[in-house]
Structure 1
């Protein structure tokens, strides 16, 4: 994945930092566009495989309906409380629907790795439980922007 950020280079994450951040964080915010053009934002858990963000979404949700009509999406993963701790990543592009809908656990080699990552990260187990209500979305981002305000502490303060 290429980092496409042009602004804020001093605080952007390196590829290794970005990978570590997305691997460790659990929650993201997903922005979709409704058929009437209105934005819709919802929260999901996710897994990161080093290239793609895997979203396990309820198939009877506004998010799912929006993405069926328009698969463009923007996703934000962020952390930190105080200004100097803020860090995050925005990923945008087009989602792909992967596997059966809803997911019942039928063999799907393409989902072996993301389901293992997700099950370990979210549930602390090695095998993905399937409830027949969710299905997989894969976002391989077209654009990525990141920030890590903790890097501001290392920058020299310009003279007054």
Structure 2
């Protein structure tokens, strides 16, 4: 992967905290939801309820598609990324703890809200490994994308 493109991907991942993620329902239709995430390089982590539709969908099919971007007032300033990835449930306790700490550090304002933090037993944590990344940058031309295989 070209280092300049990788740097742009990492910058976008580090600048944001939410993504839209599509999983596949049992009937084959994609289901898109918004989730908070954290990343360690190109590896992305998110959590969801153990009985959530996302968790059930991922138990059947580990393929996901995701999008991360900004809402901008100027169409030619649109930047973002979309990604095809494989999702794996994280079961290693050390990796679970690391992902939980990292995710909570992305939301420092949460500390002032008296809500209980979920424990690893309360949630499912998934690791997303990218397969293909599409970098969107309209400043280079309407609909310009750089496609990168991982």
TM-score w.r.t. structure 1 length?
A: 0.74
Higher RCO (C-alpha 8 Å, min separation 6)? 1
Aligned-partner Cα distance in 1 for 2:79–2:33: 20
Which residue number corresponds to residue 81 of structure 2? Answer: 89
2:118 to 124, 130, 141: 130
Alignment RMSD, CA only? 2.5
Q: Counterparts of 1:41-120 in structure 2 under 5 Å?
A: 41-81=32-72, 82-99=74-91, 108-120=93-105
Give the 4+ runs in structure 1 shifted more than 4 A.
Answer: none
- Higher share in helix: 2
Aligned-partner Cα distance in 1 for 2:83–2:44: 9
- Which consecutive unaligned segments of at least 5 residues does structure 2 have? 112-116, 143-150
1:28-47 CA distances to partner (integer Å, 9 max, x unpaired)? 00111111111111110000
**CA shift for structure 1 position 152:** 4.4
**CA shift for structure 1 position 124:** 4.8
- Higher share in strand: 2
1:114-156 CA distances to partner (integer Å, 9 max, x unpaired)? 2222111024579xx3244322000111111111223449xxx
Give 1 or 2 for the bigger CA radius of gyration: 1
- Which consecutive unaligned segments of at least 5 residues does structure 1 have? 4-12, 101-107, 154-160
Q: Number of matched residues?
A: 135
**CA shift for structure 1 position 93:** 2.1
TM-score w.r.t. structure 2 length?
A: 0.78
- Is residue 55–residue 124 contact of structure 2 (8 Å, CA) maintained in 1? no
- Is residue 49–residue 124 contact of structure 2 (8 Å, CA) maintained in 1? yes
**CA shift for structure 1 position 80:** 3.2
